[in-house]
Amino acid sequence: SQTIHQWPATLVQPVGSPLSLECTVEGTSNPNLYWYRQAAGRGLQLLFYSVGIGQISSEVPQNLSASRPQDRQFILSSKKLLLSDSGFYLCAWSPPGRSSGNTIYFGEGSWLTVV
């Protein structure tokens, strides 16, 4: 069966410091990978998605970047964090392909607090 791991679960970082959130998926090949951010009382905002190694699409301009160095590894990064980067970040995966019926499976999430 497929599993998704995301870490760290909680992170407190000072303004201006770098960020690295990591996500790995097991039990599948060539998954679509995603990073979302969740604001309180709202749904998820898609930040980045990737259909393959080195292929990253950004949905919103922001202080963050993403990379996919391996097939099942997805990293969310920032060189200098802003206070507004605080939030709950979720990594997710779906089977390859673009069918709208493909289920998106979420990791446990990472709480980022920028102080």
Binding site for other proteins (CB under 8 A): 6, 32, 34, 41-44, 46, 49, 51, 57, 59, 88, 90, 92, 94, 98-109, 111
Pick between residue 79 and residue 99 the one whose CB is nearest to other proteins: 99
| Nearest in space to 58 (alpha carbons), one of 70, 45, 49 | 49
Asked if 71 contacts 30 with a C-beta cutoff of 8 angstroms, the reply is: yes
Kindly state the smallest distance separating residue 66's Cβ from other proteins, in Å: 12
Rounded CA separation 66/58 (Å): 8
Pick between residue 5 and residue 80 the one whose CB is nearest to other proteins: 5
